[in-house]
Structure 1
Amino acid sequence: MNLGYRLAYRLGFTPWERAGRRTFSAQLAALLDGVAPPAAGAKALDLGCGTGDHSIQLGIRGWSVTAIDAVPLAIERARAKLPIAGADVRFVLGDVTNLPAYVDSGYTLAIDVGCFHGLSDDQRTAYGNGLGAVTEPGAQLLMFSFSPGHRGPLPRGASRGDVEQALGGWTVIGDDAMDTSEASGILAMAKPRFFRLVRD
């Protein structure tokens, strides 16, 4: 998927960025409202951050954010959005399947808005292992995912079982269908969900 994303950013075809801002940002914000406000210096991780809109929102909420993506142009555009008053955000070019090589540890919140659901099985396992290594017990993960399906070049999606298998040290505490009443046809047909997990 990485080559496809690189090409998409070069061509300016990034509908997931637009959907993230317009379609489900309110639902993600509501889920974040349910997370306890961060203590001073509390650390959050944005996995597959794209151009950083969600990372910046986390920073504005008071989190110290590290945001990672494998697409150089996405990270370049994300960095161009800083500085923003009140947002402590660091954008890192790196691989979510090898997190300890790119980020430090001690994170108590992670978000994934459309990254995991495009990974292969082996990549998902590596993602889960790395995420466990850099987060604290009790850390929370909010994950957006298409439901499983064959969609050509689009992400294959992930079921709750897929998430539980790859993140063995985490417990799913929420599995919520996304409100697609204002979504485009393709997004609505993908039956997206938000999973909420807590690290054991």
Structure 2
Amino acid sequence: MSSRTDSGLDVHNPAAAYGFDASYRGSPPNWDIGRPQRAFVHLAEAGRIGSRVIEVGCGTGELSLFLARRGHEVLGVDVAPSAIERARAKARWRRIPAQFLAWDALRLDDLGVRADTVVDSAMLHCLGPAERERAVEAIRRTLRPGGRYYLLCDARADGAAATWASLSRAEIRELFGPDDGWSLSFVFDTGFERRGSRSPAFLVGARRRE
């Protein structure tokens, strides 16, 4: 996957890290379960993941490494440099050819990379409303026409008070409307696994319109 990453350039936005970088310096955070979320395993096994993949908010890289081992060309990006360091170490130890880059997902399109699929295991739901719109547009610009974005996010009921790190079906429909260049393919009820717990979640599939 040719891009500015060929030069080894790492660009991240420390102001946007929201403390996540510190989360990866000690023991793994509770969302880092040592394997990909089951929802993405099922998507991969069903053949729904394209050949060129970008994972936004990749953390320590378990989903990216899983997909690369299956033969996908994968770039994982995360705003937390500590997470990227761990992901790169895992790739070396396991001899898996995934690439990792410290980068702000709100500027994903600035990388100059085009992808068939973008996967997101609980990154978008951590952003505020304006940042979500910026991230979704950057993702849309990065995808090839017809490309797919798959999002796993903690679920919140429509009409419930807004909380950090969750999305409602209404918010998802608003983010992925046809006027914004998307076709919303599905919103499935599922679960997001953490160490010792599991929370209700949505698996979202959206396609970039031609």
Give me the TM-score of the superposition, normalised by structure 1: 0.82
**Counterparts in 2 of 1:163 and 1:180: CA distance versus 1, 3 Å:** closer
Identity %: 22
**1:180 & 1:161 partners in 2: Cα distance?**
19
**2:193 & 2:173 partners in 1: Cα distance?**
28
Structure 1: tracts of 5 or more residues without a match: none
In the TM superposition, residue 142 of structure 1 has moved relative to its aligned partner by 1.4
In the TM superposition, residue 64 of structure 1 has moved relative to its aligned partner by 0.9
**Counterparts in 2 of 1:110 and 1:67: CA distance versus 1, 3 Å:** same
Alpha-carbon contact 1:75-1:91 (below 8 Å) kept: yes
In the TM superposition, residue 88 of structure 1 has moved relative to its aligned partner by 3.2
1:136-191 deviation per Cα after TM superposition (whole angstroms, max 9, x unaligned): 11111111100136797xx4301233233334322221211115799845x33xx2
In the TM superposition, residue 11 of structure 1 has moved relative to its aligned partner by 3.8
In the TM superposition, residue 36 of structure 1 has moved relative to its aligned partner by 4.7
**1:69 & 1:37 partners in 2: Cα distance?**
20
Alpha-carbon contact 1:177-1:194 (below 8 Å) kept: yes
SS in 2 for 1:16: coil
SS in 1 for 2:185: strand
Q: CA RMSD in A?
A: 2.6
**1:9 & 1:150 partners in 2: Cα distance?**
30
Alpha-carbon contact 1:164-1:170 (below 8 Å) kept: no
Aligned to 1:91: 100
1:79-138 deviation per Cα after TM superposition (whole angstroms, max 9, x unaligned): 0012344x431101010011122x333200111001000101111111011111111111
Bigger proportion of residues as strand: 2
Structure 2: tracts of 5 or more residues without a match: 1-15
Aligned to 1:171: 183
In the TM superposition, residue 70 of structure 1 has moved relative to its aligned partner by 0.4
Aligned to 1:35: 47
Q: Aligned AA for 1:89?
A: A
SS in 2 for 1:192: strand
Give me the TM-score of the superposition, normalised by structure 2: 0.78
Q: Aligned AA for 1:3?
A: Y
